[in-house]
Chain A
Amino acid sequence: MRRLGYSVFVLLGLSVVVFIIARLVPGDPARAALGPRATQEAVEALRAKLHLDKPIYVQYFFWLRSVFRGDFGESLYTRRPVIEDIREFLPATLELALFAGLFMAVFGLLLGVLSARYANTWVDNVIRVLAYLGIATPAFVVAIILILLFGMYYEVFPTIGRLSPGISAPPRLTGLLTLDSLLSGNWVALVDALKHLFLPALSLSLGGLFQEARITRASMLENARRDFVAAARAYGIPERVVIAKYLFKPSIIPTVSILGLDFASLIGNAFLVELLFNWPGLSRYGINVMLRKDIEAIVAVVMVLGVVFTVVNILVDLVVAYLDPRIRLVERGE
C-alpha cells in the first residue's frame, strides 16, 4: 500500500516534469495548430481556450483537472479528447508488449536454465555467444532482419499490421485482438492475430530475453554452490527435483527484478518496432504527435506509458516478494 501511494506521488512528479518540458517549446502551439493563414483573433481565441495565456502553474492546474475529468485535454490536431486516441491505440501496444514480455520471461528463463545446467559445454557456449549478439542488437535492427528473412524467403509470418485483410476483426471488447477473438470463439482470427504478433514481439523481446538468460545463468551457478543445495542433494533428493525446486526458485529472483527494467526498454523500443511493422499502436501515434508537436497528446502518451511502466514494476515487486521469503517475512513483521 505504501508502495502504491509513493507511485502516485512519483507519477504526479513526472507529470510536472513532462509538463514543464512540454511548455518550454519555442513557438506558439495555437499558431502552429491553426496554420500561418489564420487571423490573429482566431489564434488569440484558441490561446484563451487552451489557457495558454495564463502562467504555467495555472496551465498545469487546468491540465490536472482534465486528467481527473478523464479526457487528458484535447488534441490540437485531431480536435478530439486525447483519451479517445489513447483508448484506440493503447490496446495494440499493450498486446504487443505483453507478448514480448512473455517471450522474454519464458525463453529467457529457459535458455538461462539450459545454459546453467550444461555450463561450459557447447550448449552453454552457443547460448552465451548468441546472448552477446542479441543484447547488442537494437530491436529495430532485429526487426529489419526478421522482415527481410520472413518477408522474402518464408512467408509464414506476416510482417504488416495486426490482421490479414480478408479476416474480419472480432467485436471489440478489450481491444486485445487475441483475447477478443478468443472470447468470441473466432479461431481463424485468433490464429491470424497470433501470427501477426509473432515477429514484432520476437524482435522486441530479443535483447531482454538474452539479458534474462545471462542473469539466470549467473545466479543459478552462484546458488548451486550454496549449502542448501548441497543439503538437498545430501538428503538424496533426485537431481531433477533439486534443480526445479531448490535451485530454480531462489535463482530467478534477480531475473524477475531485472524484468521490470527490461520492460522499460521494451516499451521504448516498441516505438520503433511498431513503425517498421506498421502496427497500429500507441507508439506510432506517439511518434506522429511528437513530429507534429501536439503537446497535450505528447504529455498524455508519456504519462500513460509511465503508468503502465509503474504498474509493471509494482507487479514485479510483488512477484519478487512472493519468491523471496526474506522480503515477505520482513514486511509482515515476523
Chain B
Amino acid sequence: MRRTRIGRWWYKFSRNPLSVVGLIIVVGVVFCAVFAPWVAPYPEHAGPYVNYREANQPPSLAHPFGTDIFGRDVLSRVFFAFRSSLLMGIVVLSIVVPVGVTLGLLAGYFKESWIDILIMRITDIFLSVPPLILALAITSVLKPNLTNAMIAVSVMWWPWYTRLVYGMATSLRNEYFVQSAELIGASKFHILFREILPNCVSTILTKMTLDMGWVILIGAALSFVGLGEQPPKPALGTMVADGAKYLPEYWWISVFPGLAIMLIVLGFNLLGDGIGDLFSLEEA
C-alpha cells in the first residue's frame, strides 16, 4: 500500500524534469557535504594549509576550480563549505519553523483577541526592516561566528512562518471539522496541533524547502562581509569576498564559490517548486 503511494508521488514528481534536476542538485550537494573528507581531492586544504608554490593556479585537471592565494584547492574548500551552509539551513529552520508556526496558529485561532494583536504586532515590527539588514545588525553586535550568524538569521526569519500560518489558521478555524472538534470539547492543544496544523503541513513543507536555499543565501551574505564562519574554516561567502580582491586576474577564486551558492539555491528552489506542485496535484 505504502509503496504504491510513494510510487505515485514519484511518478507525479518526475513528470516535471526541472523538479528532478532540483532533486539531483540537492542530493549531490548533500552527498559532497557529508562525504567531504573522502570526496574532496585535498581534504587537508579545508583548514589552515599553506603552500605558496601552488598559489593562484588557474583551473586545471589537478585543481578543477584552481587554487587560492594560499595555494589551497578551491574545489575541496567548496565541498567543506557546503557543510556549514547546510548546517546553517537545517539549524535555522529547525528553530524558526516550530516557533513561527506555533505563534501563527495561536494568533490565527484566537483571532481578534489580545493574543492575536500581541503576536501579529510584534511580527509586523520584525517585518518592517529588510531581513538582511536586521541579521547584519544582530550579528555585528555579537561575536562574528557561525553560531551567532544562525541566531541572527533565526531572529529575523520566524515572522514569515507566523504570517503564513496565521493566514491559513484564520480561514481554517471556521471550517466544520474545527467547529465539531470544539463542540465535542476537544482541548485547545488538540484543535491547534491535530486539527488545524495537519492542514497547513503541505504549505509549510514547500516553504521550508524553498527557505533552505534562502537561508543558505543569507548565510553566504553574512559570511561575505566577514560575519559568519571565521577563517581558516571555509565558507562560501568568505571565499567570494576574499577572491573579489584579486578579481580580474585570479577570477576563479571567487567565481566558483559564487556559482556554488547559485547551484544550492537553484537546487532547493526547483525542488521546492516540485514539492509544491506535488501537493497541489494531490489535492486536486
Chain A positions near chain B (C-beta within 8 angstroms): 7, 9-11, 13-14, 17-18, 21-22, 24-25, 132-133, 135-138, 140-141, 144-145, 147-148, 151-152, 264-265, 267-269, 271-272, 275-276, 286-287, 290-291, 293, 295, 298, 301-302, 305-306, 309-310
Least CB distance, B213 to chain A, in whole angstroms: 7
**CB-CB < 8 A to B182: which residues of A?**
none
Query: A141 to B209, alpha carbons, bound, how many Å?
Result: 22
Inter-chain CA distance A188–B269, complex, in Å, is 44
For the complex of A and B, the 10 pairs showing the least CB-CB separation, nearest first, are: A268-B132, A290-B140, A141-B258, A136-B266, A13-B125, A136-B265, A264-B130, A268-B130, A306-B129, A25-B141
Q: Are A138 and B265 in contact (CB under 8 A)?
A: yes
Which residue of chain B has its CB nearest to the CB of A132?
B266
CA of A2 to CA of B138 in the docked complex: distance in angstroms? 31
Q: Are A10 and B125 in contact (CB under 8 A)?
A: yes
Contact present for B248 and A148 (CB under 8 Å): yes
Closest to B226 in A: A291
B residues in contact with A17, CB < 8 Å: 125-126
Q: Which residues of B contact A (CB under 8 A)?
A: 18, 121-122, 124-126, 128-134, 136-138, 140-142, 213, 217, 220-221, 224-227, 240, 244, 247-248, 251, 254-255, 258-259, 261-263, 265-266, 269-270
Pair B129/A14 contact, Cβ less than 8 Å? yes
A295 and B140 alpha carbons, distance in the complex (Å): 10
Inter-subunit contact B125/A309 (CB<8 Å): no
Taking chain A's interface residues, is the majority helix, strand, or loop, or is none over half, making it mixed? helix
Q: How far is the CA of A141 from the CA of B142 in the complex (A)?
A: 26
Residue among B122, B136, B227, B266 with the highest chain A CB neighbour number at 10 A: B136
Name the one of A21, A22, A272, A286 contacting B221, with C-beta atoms under 8 angstroms. A272
Known: A21-B141, A25-B141. A132 touches B226 (CB 8 A): no
Residues on the A chain within 8 Å of B240, using CB: 140-141, 144
For residue A275, which residues in chain B have a CB less than 8 angstroms away from its CB? 225
Given contacts A136-B213, A141-B259, A305-B130, contact A10 B140 (CB under 8 A): no
Which residues of A are found within 8 Å of B131, using beta-carbon distances?
264-265, 268
A295 near B141 (CB under 8 angstroms)?
yes
Q: Which residues of A contact B133 (CB under 8 A)?
A: 267-268, 271, 286, 301-302, 305
Contact sample, A vs B, 12 pairs, CB 8 Å cutoff: A13-B125, A136-B213, A137-B261, A141-B259, A267-B130, A271-B136, A290-B227, A291-B140, A293-B141, A302-B133, A305-B133, A306-B129
Q: Complex Cα distance A141/B258, Å?
A: 5
Q: Which one of B134, B221, B225, B270 contacts A132 once the chains associate, using CB atoms below 8 Å?
A: B270
Q: Which one, B18, B141, B244, B269, contacts A135 given CB within 8 A?
A: B269
> In the complex, A286 Cα to B261 Cα: how many Å?
24
Residues A298 and B137 in contact in the complex (CB < 8 Å), given A141-B240, A141-B261: yes
Q: A145-B255, A268-B131 are contacts. A140–B224 as well, Cβ < 8 Å? A: yes
Q: Are A148 and B251 in contact (CB under 8 A)?
A: yes
**Chain B residue with Cβ nearest A303:** B129
B261 x A144 contact (CB < 8 A): no
Which residues of B sit under 8 angstroms from A152, Cβ to Cβ?
Answer: 248
Q: Complex formed: what's the CA distance from A71 to B252 in Å?
A: 45
Given contacts A268-B131, A290-B140, contact A144 B262 (CB under 8 A): no
Q: Which residues of A contact B227 (CB under 8 A)?
A: 290
Q: A236 → chain B, closest Cβ, in Å?
A: 35
Interface centre among B124, B134, B138, B140 (most CB of A within 10 A): B140
Residues in chain B near residue A14, CB distance under 8 A? 125, 128-129
- Please report the C-alpha to C-alpha distance between residue A161 and residue B39 in the assembled complex, in whole angstroms: 42
Q: How far is the CA of A132 from the CA of B263 in the complex (A)?
A: 11
The chain A residue with its CB closest to the CB of B225 is A287
Contact A144 B244 (CB under 8 A): yes
Contact B129 A305 (CB under 8 A): yes
Q: In the assembly, what is the distance between CA of A136 and CA of B265, in Å?
A: 5
Q: For the complex, what is the distance from the CA of A10 to the CA of B263, rounded to whole Å?
A: 37
A16 CB to closest chain B CB (Å) equals 8
**Residues of A contacting B247 in the complex (Cβ-Cβ under 8 angstroms):** 144, 147-148, 151
Question: A6 vs B177: C-alpha distance in the bound complex, in angstroms?
Answer: 35
